[in-house]
Amino acid sequence: MASKKFRGRKAPPRKRNRYKVHNKWIKVKYFDGYRLRHPMPDDVDIMLWRGDGSHFSKALKRNTLYIDKPHRAETEFFVKIYEIETMRKWTRRGDNRRLPPYLEKREYLKKQLCLPYPAPEDEYVVRKEWSAEHQVNIWYVRGDIVRKSFDPHFTHGGHDLVYPSYIKEARTIWIDIYQDDREVPYTILHEIVERKKMERGGSYDKAHAYAIQSELALRFEEYLMQPVKESLEPLAVVPIEQSDTGCGPTSAKMLLDYDGIVKEDGTPYTEEELIVLCGCDPESGTDHAPLSEGMRKIAGDRVVHGENATLEDLRRIVLTERRPVMIGWWNGPHRAPEAVQADNDLDEGHFSVVMHVNRARVWIANPWIIDPENEDEGAPGIEKLPAKEFLERWYDMDGSPTETDPGYRLVRGWYLYLRPADAGDAKH
């Protein structure tokens, strides 16, 4: 028996960037929060909508949720926040014409959206620093995990005196690595100033207002008085193919060739010569110290290197000083030092040269990009990593194993670059 053909209308597909909330379609748009925060940092959250309580909310379009661009990947989570915060129980005024308490709404959000078991520390903490100047810990954390595990309202940063329920370490500041990295210096300043005022007995409201004024002063000096150039071209670093273990010496050669640094006889340094100068081991590769020392033998005091650098440091060196930067990073699946110590073949630490950093990506001159069709083959090239992914992979492991030392010490944010040469000193 032949079945009848169904002729009903198909449900229309959901249009891009549209979500159904309270039986209405809302549109999602993405804005540049960095630009908006310079005149009014306290009023620009990472998500905005008409009626959200900010000074300019009446100027926003109805049924539209605005999300700060760096947090685009969290769109669905922010839509859930919007859906809860626009419920009648939170927007309808009571007999006293006041809205429900903010803290009550915040606890409701946590109950509805946060995971029942908070994520372990090693999943959301990217790196830790100690500020000797301000005597505080600075933890760089994955804000997306913090919002889903502890507090949907966590924005840009926080500290132990405001969020003691989940920032339990004393004298500790958390900084969200997923904010626009240009915001990080202002966020750090804000949290340090606010915390100092509260530590001296000031209320949160007064400390927060003082921190906003300090932040505005810095924004005025660094942005409005000295606008940053946004359209710089990538540095003209030429990727060079490495030998089997020579990514360090090859990356060093990229820096030397970029500056035209040659030997006394006028010929360029070869990779073989740099392998010897930089102490490259055929079995385990190159450690940071001998690599830095090898470069110092060639370029002297022009060599600058260190650890625990940030994207803001890269921006300053590459975009402001216009210098390429050699980095140590992890070119493979994430591994803990213990796993690599147990099986040295899992070591995928790698050296490359950063040639450009824009708002979304880090451009790397990579001496070995693996051919996916043949994992034993590779070629040099330019790799463009999303900034978030780059931050997660900007670590490697230093120190070869010995009989008494397993080696493979975790190092985050290692970098090396050459200061510009004085006039007439381009050759050595």
State the DSSP string of 250-308. Answer: HHHHHHHHHHT-B-TTSPBPPHHHHHHHTT-BTTTB--HHHHHHHHHHHHGGGEEEESS
Are the beta carbons of 40 and 47 closer than 8 angstroms? Answer: no
**pLDDT at position 174 over 90:** yes
Residue range 67-83: mean pLDDT, rounded: 93
**pLDDT at position 190 over 50:** yes
How much is the pLDDT for 359? Answer: 74
Distance of CA 12 to the CA centre of its chain: 38
Pairing between strand 303-306 and 172-176?
A: unpaired
For residue 248, give every residue at least 6 positions away whose Cβ sits within 8 Å of its Cβ, in sequence order, or none: 278, 280, 285, 286, 291, 351
**pLDDT at position 403 over 90:** no
**What CA–CA distance (Å, rounded) separates 332 from 346?**
9
Q: Does the reported pTM lie above 0.75?
A: no
Share of the chain above pLDDT 90, in %: 49
259-285, pLDDT tens digit by residue? 999 998 989 998 888 888 888 876 667
How much is the pLDDT for 370? Answer: 57
Q: What confidence category does residue 427 fall into, taking pLDDT thresholds of 50, 70 and 90?
A: very low
What sign for the dihedral angle of Cα 244, 249, 255, 261? negative
**What CA–CA distance (Å, rounded) separates 407 from 287?**
11
Residue range 298-327: mean pLDDT, rounded: 92
Residue range 103-128: mean pLDDT, rounded: 91
Q: What confidence category does residue 257 fall into, taking pLDDT thresholds of 50, 70 and 90?
A: very high
**72 vs 65, 337, 338, CA distance in Å?**
12, 32, 34
User: Taking the C-alpha atoms of 270, 317, 292 and 256 in order, what is their torsion angle to the nearest 10 degrees?
Assistant: 10
Which two tokens mark 143?
């804000």
**pLDDT at position 75 over 60:** yes
Are the beta carbons of 291 and 353 closer than 8 angstroms? Answer: no
Which two tokens mark 13?
């597909």
**pLDDT at position 1 over 50:** no
**373 vs 8, 34, 244, CA distance in Å?**
47, 41, 18
For residue 2, give every residue at least 6 positions away whose Cβ sits within 8 Å of its Cβ, in sequence order, or none: none
- The domains located in the chain, with CATH, are 18-113 (no CATH), 121-224 (no CATH), 247-418 (3.90.70.10)
**pLDDT at position 354 over 90:** yes
